[in-house]
Amino acid sequence: SQTIHQWPATLVQPVGSPLSLECTVEGTSNPNLYWYRQAAGRGLQLLFYSVGIGQISSEVPQNLSASRPQDRQFILSSKKLLLSDSGFYLCAWRGRDDTQYFGPGTRLTVL
């Protein structure tokens, strides 16, 4: 069966520091992968998606970037965090049944 992992689970970082969040999927190959942010409140904002290694589509121009160095690995990065980058970051993969399945999330607090 397929599983999706995200780490770290929680992170507290100072403004101006770098960021690296990792997402990995097991049990499938060549999945579409997605990064979402959920700000306080509730709405989901799609940040990036990837259909293959090295292929990244950016949905919202901002302080973040994404990379896909391996088939089942998706990384979200920033060179310098802003206060507004705080939120709950969710990674998802799309199965062959066209359903997106979500990871457990990373809670990021920027101070």
Partner 1 sequence: AQSVAQPEDQVNVAEGNPLTVKCTYSVSGNPYLFWYVQYPNRGLQFLLKYITGDNLVKGSYGFEAEFNKSQTSFHLKKPSALVSDSALYFCAVRGLENGNNRLAFGKGNQVVVIP
18-47 positions binding partner 1, by CB under 8 A = 32, 42-44, 46
The number of residues making up the chain comes to: 111
Which residue in the block uniquely carries the two structure tokens 């989901």? 44
For the chain, the maximum distance between any two Cα atoms, rounded to a whole number of angstroms, is 40
Q: Looking only at residues 64 through 83 of this chain, which bind partner 1 when binding is defined by CB under 8 A?
A: none
Stretch that binds partner 1, among 13-21, 62-70, 73-81, 86-94 (CB under 8 A): 86-94
Residues of this chain that bind partner 1 (CB under 8 A): 6, 32, 42-44, 46, 49, 51, 57, 59, 88, 90, 92, 94, 98-105, 107
